[in-house]
Amino acid sequence: MNDIPQQHPHGAEAIAPGSQAALRAWNRERITEILEEHGTLTQAQLARISGLSPATVSNIVKSLESDGAVNRTPVTSSGRRALGISLTSDRSIAVGVDIGRRHIRLIAATRGREVLAERFVPLPVGHTAEKTLVVVGAEYTELLAETGRGQSDVIGIGVGIPGPIDQRSKHVVDGAILPEWVGIQAVPRLEATFGRPVILENDANLGALGEVSFGDHTAKRSLVYVKVATGIGAGIVIDGALLPGSIGISGEIGHMGLHTSDAICRCGNRGCLETVASTQTLLKQLRESGRTATKSEDIVELAQAGDLAAQRLLEDAGGAVGRACAHIANLLGPEVIVIGGPLAVLGESFLGPIRASMRRHSVPLIRETVGLEATSRGDQTEALGAVALVLRAPHNVQDLTAIRH
């Protein structure tokens, strides 16, 4: 493959075999390092020094340019006019905040998608929005201090919430996993906390953005991220962009009726996917069978310890999630469906049943072409997606609120 550089400063084993994302990230880093060392260079010079093909260099430069990490200026090279590539002296960063039922995670990254700092705080279930705002504000100050940047360097803050968000009012709507946030003027309150512009987005949507911006799938144009957690939702990327739905709500697959259950769902309907496969459902069933299970980590631990009930529940849940994935695949035909949420760490013991059921319920060509994988960025995916939400905005704060429509 001509994209592999001749010399690898970290040793060839630093790239996981077959991992295109690792290779792209490495190439990007290499080009950035060369520009740091040499200053302005033409694309031809970059190709020569890096050992990468001109086409690869061109792609990396395009991607760095779209992130605002480099700019082009006219130069003369060997007596001919050319365009010089140089790093912007830009110190700006984007911050992503993932607010969950039991945690807050904050990540700060540059336009070049280098993660500078990360903070994680566990929170008690039922934390009020007021309390969360205080904690998140304090953590933001710490995060900024760790990056060595100032408040004016922050171009914006993406915030993910586990719940549907009506983008007309910017309100978290009823049905959210964080009922404490429903109806709150979330964006103004968050902007008052951070003192910077905020974009609010549903967590599964951010998972999808995280995968195509920071994960193993940066070359994908269509991807569906399915988050299986206390609730179940999907983020849909089509033609490289998030599918917002007409009012910002889409991918509510947790409420697909699957005819495998007739239990009443929190949405008021019967037999929704969540009544079979949400972690809340699994925990409840484990407790009913006499096991101690209060949080999603308990499901993972029981399954890994060989607990038969936990394994059986995961098989059933996987079967139902796989059926929903088959419907998504039949409908949208994405390149890949990525499974996120706390159960993704179980790997094939959870993905296996999903895969089998997805194959059974999808049409032949779809079954052969649509991939199914666990998230490549683990617990960070949504916070990274929140960073990406800001980085994908036009290069100035003023346009930030207009990017979704």
CB of 346 to Zn ion, least distance (A): 24
Asked if 110 and 391 touch (Cβ cutoff 8 Å), the reply is no
How many CB atoms sit inside 10 A of residue 124's CB? 8
| Options 272, 325, 344, 354; binder of Zn ion; rule CB under 5 A | 272
> Cα dihedral sign for 309, 314, 315, 317?
positive
CB of 230 to Zn ion, least distance (A): 13
Nearest to 117 by CA among 137, 94, 87, 89: 94
107 contacts Zn ion (rule: CB under 5 A)? no
255 contacts Zn ion (rule: CB under 5 A)? yes
Quote the CA–CA distance of 355 and 348 in Å, as a whole number.
9
| Options 75, 135, 182, 267; binder of Zn ion; rule CB under 5 A | 267
Return the structure tokens found at 240: 């490289």
Quote the CA–CA distance of 157 and 155 in Å, as a whole number.
7
Options 133-141, 265-273, 276-284, 364-372: segment touching Zn ion (CB under 5 A): 265-273
CB of 49 to Zn ion, least distance (A): 56
| Options 187, 209, 265, 344; binder of Zn ion; rule CB under 5 A | 265
Options 74-82, 175-183, 231-239, 261-269: segment touching Zn ion (CB under 5 A): 261-269
CB of 330 to Zn ion, least distance (A): 21
Judged by CB under 5 A, the chain residues 164 through 183 that form the site for Zn ion are none
Quote the CA–CA distance of 254 and 277 in Å, as a whole number.
9
Options 205-213, 227-235, 248-256, 387-395: segment touching Zn ion (CB under 5 A): 248-256
53: left (phi over 0), alpha (psi -120 to 50) or beta: beta
387 contacts Zn ion (rule: CB under 5 A)? no
Options 62-70, 269-277, 358-366, 389-397: segment touching Zn ion (CB under 5 A): 269-277
Judged by CB under 5 A, the chain residues 283 through 312 that form the site for Zn ion are none
Quote the CA–CA distance of 20 and 31 in Å, as a whole number.
16
How many CB atoms sit inside 10 A of residue 36's CB? 10
Per the listing, tokens 């910017």 go with 170
Asked if 227 and 207 touch (Cβ cutoff 8 Å), the reply is yes
CB of 246 to Zn ion, least distance (A): 21
CB of 19 to Zn ion, least distance (A): 37
269 contacts Zn ion (rule: CB under 5 A)? yes
Options 20-28, 102-110, 209-217, 263-271: segment touching Zn ion (CB under 5 A): 263-271
Residues 307, 312, 313, 319, Cα dihedral to 10°: 150
Where does 289-347 have alpha helices with state H? 296-304, 308-332
Q: Is the CB of 267 or the CB of 309 nearer to Zn ion?
A: 267
Asked if 320 and 208 touch (Cβ cutoff 8 Å), the reply is no
| Partners of residue 166 on adjacent β-strands | 171
320 contacts Zn ion (rule: CB under 5 A)? no
Q: Write out the residues near Zn ion by the rule CB under 5 A.
A: 255, 265, 267, 269, 272
